[in-house]
Structures are given as structure tokens and as C-alpha cells.
Amino acid sequence: MSFPLLTATAALPAIGAVATAAVPAARRSAAKWLALLVSLATLALAITVLVRFDPDGTRYQLTESHAWIKDFGVRYELGVDGIAVALIALTAVLIPFIILAGWHDADPLETGSRRWRPTQGFFALILAVEAMVVISFEATDVFLFYIFFEAMLIPMYFLIGGFGDRAHEHGEEAAATQRSYAAVKFLLYNLVGGLIMLAAVIGLYVVAGNFSLQEIAQARTNGSLHMATSTERWLFLGFFFAFAVKAPLWPLHTWLPNAMQESTAPVAVLITAVVDKVGTFAMLRFCLQLFPEASKWATPVILVLALISIVYGALLAVGQRDIKRLVAYASISHFGFIIMGIFAMTSQGQSGATLYMVNHGISTAALMLVAGFLISRRGSRLIGDYGGVQKVAPVLAGTFLIGGLATLSLPGLAPFVSEFLVLVGTFTRYPAIGVIATFGIVLAALYVLVLYQRTMTGPVKPEVSAMPDLRARELVVVAPLIVLLIFLGVYPKPVTDIVNPAVKQTMSDVHKSDPKPEVEAAK
């Protein structure tokens, strides 16, 4: 097609970020509305991509290719498969809700505060992250992907460090110190991963002579490009390390609880529901497609690490006193399921992992944003400071419960289908790992139900007795997410129809087929 639809989908929020940042400080409301309108226009473009994409067509569609740095074989190449389309749609759906939920998060602080919070900068940074995430999902040139994979760290650093949570039990000065620590830790972890990946990207160019994902994969398939076994394994490890940091996978996960704890609730959603998905997506697109033999070689170790993430994250979530840290450790557990599904090397596992990325984004957004509304009312992140909320704010408590039930993968809500597929796909090839992973489900029920019991039930604490229920803007944020959780829980076919052909291609890349059932179906 002549119109560069993929470029437009990434360029619109980038242009919107610049325009929002340029709004005068005296017109903060205009900056908010501009950012919201840009995010809605981006959603319209993402829906157009979804409509134009043919799941049964060629692997990469709506492609664009232009020379960029000719001397090094770098091209501006974009293309989407079913997995990328699903994640672009997720990103475009969540950003308007993130903006609405954070409508007042960057308003000027009280008189005398040492911090200056430019409202337009907050919303401009969110749009900048959206632009970089979208083009990361679209890029089929490895170098182009690397640039935006790293560049998104810059706006995220400022969102965490400059616009952190106001609820802190030790006052503003301690809060500023904790925000700075969380932002620097986030940046350092991801920069180290990125630098190791850069070395692998350079090594890939030395071996292949270009950065085109499609050309390299095709050359590997037809035998015109041969990598020595040791070379392929080292390159795979360089890519995987960076993606495992971003994902995050144990033991590279420790930046996430700090980052989510110190961020506002909308920024915490941006981290775990949007940005972190780039890591798991890249494992499917780059690790498996570029290094199929090394991926199979590393599978046993990666599955063990994923299993540790599932159980470890859930265990630590059980013992948390801070609501945001609890959701962070729950997300570490969920990312373990996603990575386990990817490297189970079965079509059910990889379809479930991709569906899990989408469903986890929606369920985490619902739970964390409602938690953010709760925290903003009470001014505390500590679970022990709440009690009896359902008696004074029943709608808030009800939506919080649905978000929590989705997090524990209750049947009938979206995450159940994806978690079930991951476990089935893992069990058919690695039954012991599949069995142990189910303990993560039991622990999820424990930490979610205990969280709800301690915050929403029991006697009404005096500090929450006058707590208002969800307002109109907050309902506009939460209600569509709840609808999506229920709809995809009972009818996931729209997403699976898009991602399944791409999963089959990925399985073909690694020369894997599903294990045959031990008992044949009756004829």
C-alpha cells in the first residue's frame, strides 16, 4: 500500500509528544486534552492496522523498506505479523486509559514544595514511550529495533524519577530519594542489558553482513548463511540477556518492584503492561527466528529460570505490605508463565504466551489503576492502612475484586485461557515443569484474596470512612478494561485467530512440531 500506515502509527504519538511538550505551562489542561486526542487517533490507526492485516496472508505485512545507513547495511524496515499486531493493539488501547488515569498525577504540588512538575512533560513522555514501543513491535531491521529498544529507557527514566508517587510514609524528601534510586536502578539494569545486546548486534552483522531480520532468517533457512554453533550460542545469549532484563526474568528482575513502587499507578501500568512486553515479544521475534538451534540448546535452563520466576514472584507477593510491590511481584510471576510458554516450543504454549501478553496487560492495568485510585484517596500504599473499603466505596471495591480475580486467572476472565494454554503446552513436552508451575496459581489465589480481605473487608477504619467511590472519569478508565477481561475470557477467538498463524511460523523457524498425544482420539 502507498500510505505508510506503520510509520504513521508510530510517528503520530511521537509528533504528539513534541506538540504536547510545547504547550505553555499556563495551559496545562490543553496539554492533557491534546495528549488524550493524540492517543485516541493512534488507537484509530492501530485499529486500521488490525483491519488491514490478514492472518492467513504472508508472514510480514504492511511492510516498508527504505535505505538508511547504506555503508553498514542498515535499513528502515517495518513489518508486522500477528503477534506484533496484537501487541500494537494492546499498547494503543491502554495508553488513553493511562492518560485518563493520570489526569491529575502531574498537577502542581502544594505551595512550598521543592519539586516542580511540568504537567505537559508528563503526558509528552507517555506519548514518547508509546511511539518507541510501537516502532519496536514493527521493526524488522535488527539495528532499528535496537535503537528504539534502548531509547525508550530515557522517557521512562524521567517518568519514574520525576513524576513518582506522592504517597510516601516518610515524607517528600525520603520519597524523592527513593524515586531517584528506583529510576537509576531501572536505567542501569536495562543499559547493561542493552550494551550486551549491542555487542551481539555487531557480532550478527559481522556474521551475516546486514541487519535485516527477514534476509538473515531466509539465508539461515536456505543454507546460504551458516553460523558456527558456538557463535550462534554467544549471539543468542547476548540478545536473550537484554530481553530477560526487560521482561523481567529472575534473577534480573530486581529493578521492577522498586520502579513500580515509586511510580504513579499509570506509569507502573506503562512499565509492566506495555514496556516490558517488548522483552517477551523480542524473544519470539529475534531469539527464536535468528538463532533457532541456540534457542533449543538454552531451553532447559530458561524453563528452570521461568519456573523460579513463577514460584518466587508469587511467594514474595504473598508477603508484601505495599500494594504496588505486591502487583510487581505478581507480574514477575506472570512473566515467568509467558517465558515458559515461549520456550516450551509447542504451539499451545506459544499461542498461550502471546495471548498472556495481551491479557496480562489488561488485567494488570485494571488492578493497578484501581489500586492507584484507592491510594490517591488514602495517601498510603500500605495494605495495613486500609480496611472495610467495600462498605464505603462498593464500586471501587467491586472493580478491585474483578481486577484481582483476573490476576489469579479465574475461569471466565481473560488470563485464565492464556494461562491454561501455557500450562497445557508446557506439560505436553515438560510435564514436571508444568506440574510445579501450577503452584503459582495456588499462590496467586492466596495473595489476591488476602489483599482483598485486608483492604476491602472487615471493620471500616476511621481513615477510610469518608472515602468517595469511583468518579465518572475513573469509571471511564476502569469499565472498558473490565469489559475486555470478561469478553476475552469467554471469547478469546479474535486474538487467537490473529496470533496462531504467526506462532506456526515461529514453530517452523525452530524446526519444532507439537508432541503427538499418547492416546489417539477415538475414530
Q: Is residue 376 part of a domain?
A: yes
| C-beta neighbour count of 519 within 10 angstroms | 5
Total structural domains within the chain: 1
Q: Among positive and negative, which fits the CA dihedral 401, 443, 375, 28? A: negative
| C-beta neighbour count of 47 within 10 angstroms | 14
The reply to whether omega before 251 is within 30° of 0 (cis) is yes
Q: Is residue 498 part of a domain?
A: yes
- Give the pLDDT score at 521: 55
Q: Is residue 220 part of a domain?
A: no
Residue type, 26: A
- Give the pLDDT score at 166: 61
- Give the pLDDT score at 172: 63
Q: Give the span between the Cα atoms of 346 and 186, in whole angstroms.
A: 33
Q: Is residue 190 part of a domain?
A: no
Q: Is residue 302 part of a domain?
A: yes
- Give the pLDDT score at 275: 93
DSSP-derived secondary structure for 20-78 = HHTS-GGGHHHHHHHHHHHHHHHHHHHHHHHHH--TTS-SSEEEEEEEEEGGGTEEEEE
- Give the pLDDT score at 38: 96
Q: Is residue 318 part of a domain?
A: yes
Grid cell 505479523 is found at 81
Domain that holds residue 373: 293-514
| C-beta neighbour count of 114 within 10 angstroms | 8
CA angle 116, 114, 368 (to 5 degrees): 65
pTM of the predicted structure, to 2 decimals: 0.90
- Give the pLDDT score at 520: 61
Contacts of 444 (CB under 8 A, 6+ apart): 314, 317, 330, 333, 407, 408, 409
Q: Is residue 182 part of a domain?
A: no
Q: Is residue 381 part of a domain?
A: yes
pLDDT along the chain (523 residues), means of 10: 86 94 84 94 95 87 86 86 94 95 76 59 93 94 93 92 66 72 90 92 88 83 80 93 92 89 90 92 91 91 95 92 92 93 91 93 93 88 87 91 91 92 91 91 91 89 85 92 94 91 84 68 55
